Amino acid sequence: MDTSSETSTPVTPAAAPAAPQGRRGWRSLGHPLVIAGAVVLALLAWQWIETRAQLEVLKQQVAQRLGESDAATREVKGRAKEIQDSIQAMGNRLAVQEARMAEAQGQQAALEALYQDLSRSRDEWVLAEVEQALNIAQQQLQLAGNVQAALIALQSAEARLAGFERPQLLPLRKSIARDIERLKALPLADISAMGLALENLIDRVDTLPLAFEHSPPKQEKVVKPQPKKGAKPVEQSAPAVVEPPAWYARLLGDFWTELRGLIRIERLDRPDPALLSPAQTVFLRENLRLRLLSARLALLQRDGRVFREDTKQAAAWMERYFDVEDREVAMRLADLRKAQGARLSVELPNLNETLGSLHSARVAGAR
């Protein structure tokens, strides 16, 4: 045994220092750096473990938060879908409302166009009526010289425009009012009345009595009223007058009538009326009728000179050959004398300015 031990562990000088190195290795473990490194490693291990635990907790929290977020996302998606559906429904309703509004706007535009057409047509109709009245007034002034008819036409045009408050019609209304005042201020005779008087005289020429046909008026018998049968006589306070017999009263009446027929009072300041034969009477009446017709024509033509001559000659014939004491003859003769002083030759105004205003109003209405 000793031999084996000696052979197994030979003592050599190189193996002798091994034990001190091992001791130095263990001693080196107790070095402060090693201890610090171990502490650091421990701290790092503890930190890693703690961090891992925190990461696990964080993973769990993140997973929980992700789950909650997914639920919220799903809820948001559901609400977003509901909102989208609502928006789509509102868009559909808005499209329907826009379509209705567009239709209403189209109808409003059509109604406005129709109103404009109706208003324009009404204005054109009124202006056409006014133009017709003005043309009638112009014709009455230029052709017939009838101021009264022209006034009536102008007044009807003014009344037609009175219900229209249009700015473009104001100059026309002023012009018509000015023409009416001008016609009213004219010093004209009543042409219609004189024409009617001449017409009546022409119709009665054949019935007017002549001067040589004049006979004294017959005396009307005075008939004394007889008391009624059964009436009581009226009491008189004065004494009763004795009346002559009836035959005597009739005799006196006849005598007085015959006596009045023998006496005739006539004027001596004019010559005796000429005795005319039936043929001359016809010619006289026809010549008088022709003179009156000529006077009426001159009246319509506003020829004052011819009118005065014809009426003067007709009045002279009536004074000489007709019975001026007759009521009808005296009345017609007075009409002729009155007509002789009538003023016919007056320059009548025209309506050109008013017609120009009408044309301007039409142009403004068309614009």
Domain that holds residue 316: 189-212+272-345
pLDDT of 342 reads 73
β partners of residue 322: 210
What is the rounded distance in angstroms from the CA atom of residue 187 to the CA atom of residue 130? 27
Nearest to 307 by CA among 328, 285, 291, 284: 291
Collect all residues with Cβ–Cβ distance below 8 Å to 332 and sequence separation of at least 6: 197, 200, 201, 204, 208, 318
pLDDT at position 244 is 56
The encoded tokens of residue 46 equal 């503890």
Same domain membership, residue 194 and residue 131: no
CB 137 within 8 A of CB 154: yes
| Sign of the CA dihedral running 84, 89, 95, 98 | negative
pLDDT for 302: 74
Is 199 inside a domain boundary? yes
pLDDT value at position 124?
79
Residue 181 lies in a domain: yes
Residue 49 belongs to a domain: no
Looking at the fold, whether 199 and 177 belong to one and the same domain comes out as no
Do 278 and 151 lie in one domain? The reply is: no
- C-beta separation of 246 from 317 below 8 A: no
Residue 240: predicted pLDDT: 45
Which DSSP symbol is given to 169? G
142 inside domain: yes
Q: Let me know if residue 197 belongs to a domain.
A: yes
Q: What is the pTM of this model?
A: 0.41
- In sequence order, the 6+-apart residues with CB closer than 8 A to the CB of 295 are 198, 306, 307, 310, 311, 314, 339
- 360 and 340 within one domain: no
Asked whether the beta carbons of 304 and 344 are under 8 A apart, the reply is yes
Same structural domain for residues 281 and 338? yes
pLDDT of residue 290: 92
Residues 157 and 279 in one domain: no
Statement to judge: residues 276 and 184 lie in one domain: no
283 shares its domain with 328:
yes
φ, ψ dihedrals at 349, nearest 5°? -75, 160
Structure tokens at 248: 């005597």
Q: Are 154 and 180 in contact (CB under 8 A)?
A: yes
Rounded Cα–Cα distance for residues 301 and 344 (Å)? 9
CA distance 282 to 279: 5
Q: What is the pLDDT of residue 236?
A: 44
Taking residue 117's Cβ as centre, other Cβ atoms within 10 Å add up to: 10
Question: Which residues are within 8 A (CB) of 51 and not within 5 positions of it... i.e. 6 or more apart?
Answer: none
The parts of the chain modelled with pLDDT lower than 50 are 1-19, 26, 216-225, 227-229, 231-242, 268
Q: Give dist(CA 252, CA 259) in Å, integer.
A: 10
- Predicted local confidence at residue 117, as pLDDT: 61
Are 197 and 174 members of one domain? Answer: no
Count the domains in the chain: 2
302: left (phi over 0), alpha (psi -120 to 50) or beta: left
Residue 45 lies in a domain: no
Residue 10's pLDDT is what? 47
- 362 closest CA partner among 95, 196, 90, 129: 129
Check whether residue 173 and residue 193 sit in a common domain.
Answer: no
Check: CB of residue 126 under 8 Å from CB of residue 164. Answer: yes
Q: Are residues 201 and 324 in the same domain?
A: yes
Q: How far apart are the first and last CA of the chain?
A: 150
Question: Hunting for tokens 């045994």 — which residue is that?
Answer: 1
Q: What is the pLDDT of residue 233?
A: 45
Q: Give the span between the Cα atoms of 285 and 301, in whole angstroms.
A: 24
Which pairs count as long-range contacts for 298-303, CB under 8 Å and 24+ apart, including other chains? Answer: 298/344, 299/191, 299/194, 299/195, 299/198, 299/344, 300/144, 300/145, 300/191, 300/195, 301/145, 302/145, 302/344, 302/345, 302/346, 303/344, 303/345
Q: Does 194 map to a domain?
A: yes
183 and 280 share one domain: no
Confirm whether 10 is domain-assigned. Answer: no
